[in-house]
Amino acid sequence: MQARHAARAGIELTRALLSQYPEYRDQEGLYRLFNQETVLPVAASQCRILVSQEGGKININKLKTNDQLERQRIDQLLLLIDVLNQKLPSSRRLEYGLVPALIDWTDADDQITQLAFVSHANRGAESEYYRRQVPAYPCANQSLDRIDQLLLVRDITPRLLYHLTEGTPETAETGLADYLTVYGDGKININYAPLPVLRSLCLSITEGLARQIVQYRAIRPFASVGEIRQVPGMTEEIFTAIQEHITVTSAEPCYRVTVTAQAENASCKVTAILKQNHSARRLEMVYYQEI
């Protein structure tokens, strides 16, 4: 109970800080305060707080527009699967079938998607599949409102969403929720994108180049899309391939706050999404979950 209260207090502390001090909401402010996990004493507990901006993730509501597949974003999601699988044991590897299943869950029709450009695991799932589940439920056929709704999609489990990689004392465990979002216009904010998302932008972006991008922005966040050309290893070919799909600003910034509280022999991990309310001039909590 104490750990749960401390974790919630950590969320509220972060919301108050970001609301009252707008300078912490820009790129440089977030890097100064939360670029790495911050450990704070809260309510007689130790809280690890990590803040990220959702604009650095792949928006899974943007895989199809006006009944047309968004090939670039689909390819990016497929490449993200490849990138993540490189670090995972065979028993934990992701299947390409997640992608057409996501398309079918979020598009408006009830036609099963088949990605002809994917050689295997290329078919999605519609209501016929979901009505065979226990308990039965229909395919949503609409955009997701929250990332945890992915748990309704075929083959997506809590382990894949939140516990894909195991944490260590120095690093937090990660899951698909760390790389996917339901917010934003679909462009990737390169000031906040995690390394796997940076690699998913283009097949030619190696892990070494992605690390160079992360190191560059840690010193000084990108002020323009063109500035990424200054990163060692960046080529004009890569820049041309990604320039239309990246940004350095977010029109409606959303922040994901993850707090892990440790109190005595108990721990609690919570995640919240804070979204800017321009009319009220404050950050509203639009999502909260204990993991």
Mean pLDDT of 179-192: 94
| The CATH fold of domain 188-247 | DNA polymerase; domain 1 (1.10.150)
Q: What is the pLDDT of residue 48?
A: 86
Which sequence spans correspond to the domains of the chain? Answer: 2-53+254-290, 61-81+91-159, 188-247
* Cis bond upstream, residue 135 (ω within 30): yes
Asked if pLDDT for residue 114 goes beyond 90, the answer is yes
Confirm if 255 and 274 have CB atoms less than 8 A apart. yes
Q: How confident is the model at residue 213 (pLDDT cuts 50, 70, 90)?
A: very high
Q: Is 179 helix (H, G, I), strand (E, B) or coil?
A: coil
More confident residue, 194 or 166: 194
CATH 3.40.50 corresponds to the domain 2-53+254-290: no
Q: What is the DSSP letter of 269?
A: E
The mean pLDDT of the chain is 89
Confirm if 53 and 26 have CB atoms less than 8 A apart. no
Q: What is the pLDDT of residue 20?
A: 77
Q: Give me the percent of the chain exceeding a pLDDT of 90.
A: 64
Q: What is the pLDDT of residue 188?
A: 97
Question: 180-181 and 58-59: which strand pairing?
Answer: parallel
Question: 180-181 and 68-69: which strand pairing?
Answer: unpaired
Judge if 2-53+254-290 and 61-81+91-159 fold alike in CATH terms.
no
More confident residue, 133 or 251: 133
Q: How confident is the model at residue 26 (pLDDT cuts 50, 70, 90)?
A: low
Q: What is the pLDDT of residue 31?
A: 55
Of 2.60.120.560, 2.30.38.10, 1.10.40.60, 3.90.650.10, the CATH number of 61-81+91-159 is 1.10.40.60
> How many CB atoms lie under 10 A from the CB of residue 174?
18
Q: Of 103, 145, 151, which Cα lies nearest the Cα of 125?
A: 103
Residues β-bridged to residue 40: 47
Phi-psi region of 185 (alpha: psi -120 to 50; beta: other; left: phi over 0): alpha
Rounded Cα gap, residues 284 and 212, in angstroms: 34
Rounded Cα gap, residues 90 and 32, in angstroms: 37
Rounded Cα gap, residues 280 and 247, in angstroms: 26
Asked if pLDDT for residue 251 goes beyond 80, the answer is no
Phi-psi region of 136 (alpha: psi -120 to 50; beta: other; left: phi over 0): beta
Mean pLDDT of 93-109: 97
Mean pLDDT of 16-43: 66
Q: What is the pLDDT of residue 216?
A: 96
Which backbone phi and psi does 55 adopt, to 5 degrees?
A: -65, -15
Q: How confident is the model at residue 39 (pLDDT cuts 50, 70, 90)?
A: confident
Rounded Cα gap, residues 182 and 147, in angstroms: 6
Q: What is the pLDDT of residue 272?
A: 94
Asked if pLDDT for residue 57 goes beyond 90, the answer is yes
Q: What is the pLDDT of residue 94?
A: 96
Q: How confident is the model at residue 24 (pLDDT cuts 50, 70, 90)?
A: low
Rounded Cα gap, residues 10 and 24, in angstroms: 16
Asked if pLDDT for residue 214 goes beyond 90, the answer is yes
Chain center to CA of 78: 15
Is residue 219 within a helix (H) or strand (E), and if so which, with residue range? helix 207-219
Q: What is the pLDDT of residue 208?
A: 98
Rounded Cα gap, residues 224 and 164, in angstroms: 33
Asked if pLDDT for residue 168 goes beyond 90, the answer is no
Q: Of 44, 49, 43, 46, which Cα lies nearest the Cα of 17?
A: 49
